[in-house]
């Protein structure tokens, strides 16, 4: 592994997807609308999805449920069509949260390295990433909600971070994690790395709240964050 010491200031930005860059409620709403054109989604399931989102984050595996439901009705071949329709309909809408496009443009403009680190079921996460137009952004889908723990495994004894190939590889002296959920920062490395919890407390879900490490700064919206980077 290449662990040569990178420049002091080399930073890799790790950006969360759901509720940081993308409007996850809107994505789920459009998905359910599309699904309803194919199968009768039982209201009990819709309520379970909603309760899971509020309590635990977007954890109900909606996509797999629908794919399996089609398969159970011997209509597995319709899954591709449903996915394409969801992506098509989503792309005619803006699925990004305010400031999301500006943040990525800002990082691109500065020539910074960044990637998306998203928690959830891979099938559903990749589908939402495509629907939001992030096909070309480097990303990792993890089933570990404690992203800080995962990120800390990239840190070498010298202190530098050996970045996974999915994020472009190479090394960074520090990482910056941008995420709405407190639990994402569990186990996050100490300084000079740092985090920004982007969360509007007035509209927060229980799943987003909790203690964060000392090197994590709270901001209410992405526009404020850009001024701090």
The footprint of Mg ion on this chain (CB under 5 A) covers a number of residues equal to 5
**Which SS3 state, helix, strand or coil, does residue 193 take?**
coil
The sheet with strand 216-219 has its strands ordered as: 139-142, 113-119, 11-15, 174-179, 194-198, 216-219
Q: Which residue's structure tokens are 């996050």?
A: 188
- Answer yes or no whether residue 16 interacts with Mg ion by CB under 5 A: yes
Q: How far is the C-alpha of 207 from the C-alpha of 113, rounded, in Å?
A: 29
Distance CA 78, CA 101 (A): 33
Contacting residue, 41, 141, 177, 180, with Mg ion by CB under 5 A: 180
Contact call for residue 69 and Mg ion (CB under 5 A): no
- What are 227's two structure tokens? 């001024």
Q: State in angstroms the smallest separation of the CB of 97 from Mg ion.
A: 10
Determine if 126 is a binding residue for Mg ion (CB under 5 A). no
Q: Could you tell me the smallest distance in angstroms from the CB atom of residue 145 to Mg ion?
A: 10
20 vs 85, which CB is nearer to Mg ion?
A: 20
By rule CB under 5 A, what string of x and - marks binding of each residue 18-57 to Mg ion? xxx-------------------------------------
Residues that bind Mg ion (CB under 5 A): 16, 18-20, 180
């Amino acid at each position: 592994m290449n662990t040569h010491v990178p420049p002091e200031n080399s930073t890799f930005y790790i950006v969360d997807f759901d509720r940081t860059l993308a409007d996850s409620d809107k994505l789920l709403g459009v998905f359910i609308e599309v699904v309803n054109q194919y199968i009768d989604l039982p209201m009990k399931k819709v309520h379970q999805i909603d309760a899971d989102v509020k309590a635990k984050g977007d954890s109900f595996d909606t996509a797999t449920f629908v794919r399996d439901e089609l398969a159970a009705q011997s209509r597995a071949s319709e899954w591709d069509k449903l996915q394409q329709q969801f992506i098509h309909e989503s792309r005619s809408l803006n699925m990004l949260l305010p400031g999301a496009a500006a943040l990525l443009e800002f990082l691109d403009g500065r020539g910074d390295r960044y990637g998306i680190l998203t928690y959830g079921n891979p099938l559903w996460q990749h589908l939402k990433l495509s629907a939001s137009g992030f096909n070309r952004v480097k990303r990792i889908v993890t089933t570990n909600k404690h992203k800080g723990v995962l990120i800390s495994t990239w840190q070498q004894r010298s202190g530098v971070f050996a970045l996974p190939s999915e994020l472009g590889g190479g090394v960074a002296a520090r990482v910056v994690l941008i995420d709405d959920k407190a639990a994402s920062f569990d186990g996050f490395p100490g300084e000079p790395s740092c985090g920004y919890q982007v969360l509007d407390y007035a509209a927060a879900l229980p799943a987003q709240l909790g203690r964060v490490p000392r090197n994590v700064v709270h901001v209410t919206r992405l526009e404020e964050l850009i001024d701090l980077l």
